[in-house]
Structure 1
Amino acid sequence: MSFNDERGSSTAEFAVLLPAVAVMLSLVLGFGVLGIQQIQVQQAAGAMARELARGEDSATARASGVKLAGNEARFWQSTASGYAQVHVSKSVRLPIVGSIQVHGQASVAVE
């Protein structure tokens, strides 16, 4: 056996790099999920504000928000000074990073 034998070196390099690749992949997928949740929360806020501005009751607007953002989201709504204002927040749990809050808000002039 020679000391210049390089058989198995690519396997060893792969074994060393695999955990780093797995962590990077987890982070990329996690932030993709975070982006999707942010979009859903913002869409929920917009839909709720539009419904409140049209004169729908708050239960109907909340049902629309729950449909888009989910049951675990928190909603704040107000129709003051001629505007329907809605704020939606949701906690998103990501592996490695932990829990992150996403927020969405919308304001629409009351018709």
Structure 2
Amino acid sequence: MLEAFIFATILIGFFGIIFKQNLVMKIISMDVMSTGVIAYYVLVASKNGLFTPILGNKENINYADPVPQAVILTAIVIGFSIQALMLVGVMKLAKNNPTLESSEIEKNNTP
């Protein structure tokens, strides 16, 4: 059931990128899609267990895989920096264009 909600989140973000015309909404949709992908990786990493792999006296405990967790931390940082860079690009476009609709920007900037 949780996987279905995660895939729905990914699809909502994907369709938002395709069908929304406003550039800010496209950026938000991309962020929603990346959140779904990150949630899916966290779900995959926790399939074997929920405990962190720290040395201790307990044996026969199913540990969560730490490699996807490290990859996800990197993906979160990279996603944040890409989102900030895209928002700066949209701010630059907003100075020269009266609207942030992608079709209107294409009409105004085609030779």
Does the alignment reach a TM-score above 0.5? no
Which one has a bigger Cα radius of gyration? 1
- TM-score scaled by structure 2? 0.34
Is the helix fraction higher in 1 or 2?
A: 2
Is the strand fraction higher in 1 or 2?
A: 1
- TM-score scaled by structure 1? 0.34
